[in-house]
Structure 1
Amino acid sequence: MEQHDNLARAEAERAVIKKVAWRFLPVLILGYLLNYMDRTNVGFAALTMNKDLGLTASQFGFGAGIFFLAYSLFEVPSNLMLFRVGARLWLARIMITWGLCSAVMALVIGPYSYYAARLLLGLSEAGFFPGVTFFLSSWFPARYRTTILAWFLLAVPLSSLVGGPLSGALLLLDGVWGMAGWKWMFLVEGLPTALVGIWALYVLADSPGKAAWLSPSERTLMNEMLQGEKRAKPRKDFATALRDPRVHVLALIQFGFTVGSYGVGVWMPLILKQFLSSPLEIGLVSAIPYAFACVAMLLWAKHSDRTGNSLGNLGMSCALGAVGLAFSVFAHSTVASMVGLTLALVGVTSARAIFWAIPGRIMTGVGAAAGFAYINCIAALGGFAGPYVIGWAKEETGSFAAGLGVMGAVLVVTVLLVLPLRHFQRQAAAATSST
């Protein structure tokens, strides 16, 4: 009888988790797809924008990266505001304002207005990703979290899988109504985000108690699952979270694979321009690595959930990223270079999904809201470093190889950082069991 009751409860839990996931994930995935597209479509704009604006490689790289400086500066304040006013309202606000700011990129006329527009975009987007991570961690228990986060993070490779061909096609609108193709690209890819933000207002709910679309029994079941987790780990404020060495190591680890992710993502169109001439061809070819990354990320996240070895899988995914970048540096053909970049993107994309299931096991409450933002704040600096280093190395050496090599070395260090994280995890587990 008891076994039957346990099976019935487990089935009820899976059913309500599935219902919540189908409610939240479509709008969040679409929002993050547009979010990531807004960050990296500047690489496609560069195919024609750089000449129109007179941008050098280092100026373009600096402008692409300055987005992340602004993003980092306002990351923690944004998530503290999210905790105060509620995720539903704040996430919708972020999406509406960044959609409008992305469209403003169509108005830039030179390097300084380019820097200003990218800075404004970074300010408006600050807090979105850690805000969603906090939101999902507040709704989904740990045993479902890696898989749920992987589905959400599917938006990252999907944004390049869809965005590459779309951006390449929009560049072909050059001259329509007297506007450059890259301006059309920013308008068409930016403005829909504001509509998704309005959609989010009607779909999201801050807690099961505020979800009118759940039945009373479903709300009770969700609250029981979530309350059980909260009792199992100590509640932390932001100051307590910052005293935990694991939080800082996690920030450095995410910095490492973010360097590789954005470095490759932003510069891939210009890397491919060495071999291809048509923007549409570049867009289609650039989508290939991300198609593999989409499938690999979901499979690897499911494997990580099944084995329960998040740290081991995180280390292996970062190692694969380093191997892929090294392979692309020493490759002597276009095909071999693309194989290396594909392996690198599979590694760093899978690392992102595995990684974000870990902080939620360490922090709760306002500590989680601010702690997630702090981790992403430090990591976002990698989004500045990756594009800028490749741009600087390209000007100094005339080749992309040196910049890709530096990013590969950063990923090797990232793999090594998993070792102290394991040590701190064992210490924390021992301290918990002794109390």
Structure 2
Amino acid sequence: MSSGTDERLAVINRKNALRLLPLMLAGYVLNNIDKSNVGVAALAMNRDLGFTPSIFGFGAGIFFITYTLFQVPSNLGLERFGSRRWLGGILIAWGLGACATAATVGPKSFYMLRLLLGVAEAGWYPGLLFFMCCWFPKAFRARAFTWVALGVPISAAIGFPVGGALLELPTVFGLVNWQWLFIIEGLPSVLVGVLSLIWLRDGPHEAYWLTSPQREELADALEGERAVEDTRHLSVWSTLWHPLVPFFCLVHFLYAMNVFGVFMWIPRLVKDLGGLTYAQVGMVSAMPFLCAAVAVFLCGRSSDRWEDRKWHISGMLLIGAAGTLGVALSTDAVYKILFLCIAVAGVSGQANVLYAFATEVFGNISPTSKILAIRLGILVMSGGVGGFLAPYLVGLVLERFGNFSYALCSASAMLFLTSLLMALASRRFLGLDGPSPVSAVELSQWRS
């Protein structure tokens, strides 16, 4: 690609980033707040409703059953009906579902409402990844993902303090503090969903803020990155032919086991340090995610600068493993918070690079946009499986042993294994030195 083309695409990328990324960031922040605010609400809800750690852990995790099962169907809907209507509709649906969680009266209703919330949220994040693949060429994608990935630490930095403050509210109109938390934090998703229906467009061909030559150049650049141009039918099951799909799913599963197994319990872990009000627990719980925001930004920039994905992912996961082990072994409250900052920064810092890497690889081996959407859905499904198992297992361990040490040691081991998997994957296997060895086989089977 010529320097002139690079400069023109950079201008186009900046226009698209200013137009699209703020709303995408807002949606991702709300997605994570509505997904994890149950961890803050649990500080009061568990006491009021008599939930044990295992009941809460199962309810927190059961969300991911429907969230996982509906990933691929939801992404097929996005590919069929368009990003604007589908992503906006999902935002509105999950905002209403998050508000409805305030109606929890016992374990059964808690499980049912969490299942329904999983249906509502399913498909939004892989849909977001697919949407960004339709707008940003590979050379700009990691930087775009970096800004969106800031949604994870920003959501925690906002959600934990706000959630803690909401738990200080008195009973109003017959609703107690944790019920108001679900309602107040769910309504903004509905608003952003309505804005998405108005603001978003499905692809570069509808980008009225670009000139006609800019729209054509961006469309040509995105189309030119396709490794295969034939568009004949490819069955859904054939999406798993390529071993890079299960490889990235395994990496994502192990990563998600740590994220949802540890992050969702952070307010409880901080509360166990003793002597803190709900508002103070929220403030302290947000500190690790402020560190994570810096790590996300620096890791994304460094990954682009050095044109490396593999070692940035592996290295940050190793830092996360060390920090998580430090939390498990330290007894001093200050050191626990310090190691927690290191753990969250390490795990969160590489997430945008991992997703950028996965979309690049899947884009190279996906013959059609439909198959790319399905593969991204499968990737997020793998994280959903980890999201279901991890909170429940941590709850069982906490109920059995009375502290988080065993669960944290297990999480550290998983992070170390994930780092090792990425480090040992050869450049040839990852397609960094040309096509992956099985790409030609996959293409031959597909064309036949």
Q: Establish whether TM, by shorter chain, passes 0.5.
A: yes
Correspondence for 1:86 among 82, 88, 95: 82
2-side partners of 1:312 and 1:319: how far apart? 10
* Secondary structure of the corresponding residue to residue 214 of structure 1: coil
Q: Please say if residues 251 and 379 of structure 1, whose CA atoms lie closer than 8 Å, have aligned partners that are also in contact.
A: yes
The number of residue pairs the alignment matches comes to 431
Return the letter of the residue paired with 2:435: A
How many angstroms does 1:221 deviate by?
2.0
Q: Which amino acid aligns with 1:155?
A: G
Aligned to 1:61: 57
Determine the C-alpha separation between the residues in 1 that align with 2:46 and 2:326: 29
Specify the alignment match of 2:435 in structure 1: 428
Q: 1:243 aligns with which of 237, 241, 244?
A: 241
Cα displacement string for residues 47-74 of structure 1 (whole angstroms, at most 9, x for unaligned residues): 1100111111100000001011110011
CA distance in 2, matches of 1:233, 1:338: 51
What is aligned with 2:212?
216
SS at match of 2:435: helix
Partners of 1:263 and 1:116 lie apart in 2 by: 21
Q: Deviations for 1:156-181, whole angstroms, at most 9, x for unmatched residues?
A: 11000011111011111131233210
Question: Which of 403, 413, 419 is equivalent to 1:399?
Answer: 403
- Post-superposition offset of 1:315: 0.9
Residues 345-385 of structure 1: per-residue CA shift (max 9 Å, x gap): 11111221111112222334111100000011011111122
Quote the sequence identity (%). Answer: 37
How far does the alpha carbon of each residue in 1:43-99 deviate from its partner, in whole angstroms, 9 at most, with x for none? 110111001111111000000010111100111111111111111111111101000
- Could you say which structure has the higher helix fraction? 1
For 2:314 and 2:385, locate their aligned partners in 1 and report how far apart those are by CA, in whole Å.
21
The 8 Å contact of residues 61 and 392 in structure 2, kept in 1 or not, is answered as: yes
The answer on whether the counterparts of 1:174 and 1:182 sit within 8 Å (CA) in structure 2 is no
Tell whether 2:140 aligns with 1:144.
Answer: yes
Asked whether 1:31 is paired with 2:36, we answer no
The structural deviation recorded for 1:277 is 2.6
Q: Contact (CA 8 Å) 2:361, 2:430: kept in 1 or not?
A: no
Secondary structure at 1:115 match in 2: helix
Deviations 1:16-57 (A, max 9, x none): 101101111111111111110111110110111001111111
Q: Which moved more, 1:271-280 or 1:414-423?
A: 414-423
Instruction: Please tell me the residue identity of whatever aligns with 2:385.
Output: L
Partner residue of 1:261? Answer: 259
1:50 maps to what in 2? 46
Q: Whole-Å Cα distance in 1 between the matches of residues 438 and 173 of structure 2? A: 67
Q: Map residues 295-306 of structure 1 onto 2, 5 A cutoff.
A: 295-306=294-305
Matched letter for residue 328 of structure 1: V
1:222-248 CA-to-partner distances (Å, cap 9, x unmatched) read 112212212578879444431011110
Q: Is the 2:428–2:437 Cα contact (8 Å) retained in structure 1?
A: no
Q: The residue matched to 1:41 in structure 2 has which SS?
A: helix
Task: Work out the CA distance in 2 between the residues paired with 1:231 and 1:243.
Answer: 16
Shift of 1:217: 2.0
Structure 2 residue 385 is matched with structure 1 residue 354: no
Query: Shift of residue 433 of structure 1?
Result: 9.7
Give deviations 1:80-120, integer Å, cap 9, x for gaps. 11111111111111101000000001111001101111111
1:376 corresponding residue in structure 2: 380
Residue 432 of structure 1: how far off its partner (Å): 6.6
Closer, same or farther in 2 for the Cα pair 1:385/1:431, shift >3 Å? closer
The residue identity in structure 2 corresponding to 1:420 is: A
The TM-score normalised by the length of structure 2 is 0.92
Partner amino acid, structure 2, of 1:256: L
- CA distance in 1 between partners of 2:427 and 2:69 (Å): 29
Gaps of 5+ in 2: 444-448
What letter corresponds to residue 370 of structure 1 in structure 2?
A: I
| Of 9-18 and 329-338, the range deviating more from structure 2 | 9-18
Cα distance in structure 1, aligned partners of 2:215 and 2:88:
23
* Map of 2:271 onto structure 1: 273
Contact kept? 1:258, 1:348, Cα under 8 Å: no
Alignment partner of 1:139: what SS? coil
Q: What is the rounded CA distance, in whole Å, between the counterparts of 2:263 and 2:146 in structure 1?
A: 19
How far apart in 1 are the matches of 2:141 and 2:378?
20
Give the structure-1-normalised TM-score.
Answer: 0.95
Listed as ranges, the matches of 1:164-243 within 5 Å are 164-230=160-226, 237=234, 238-243=236-241
Q: How far, CA to CA, are the matches of 1:69 and 1:341 in structure 2?
A: 28
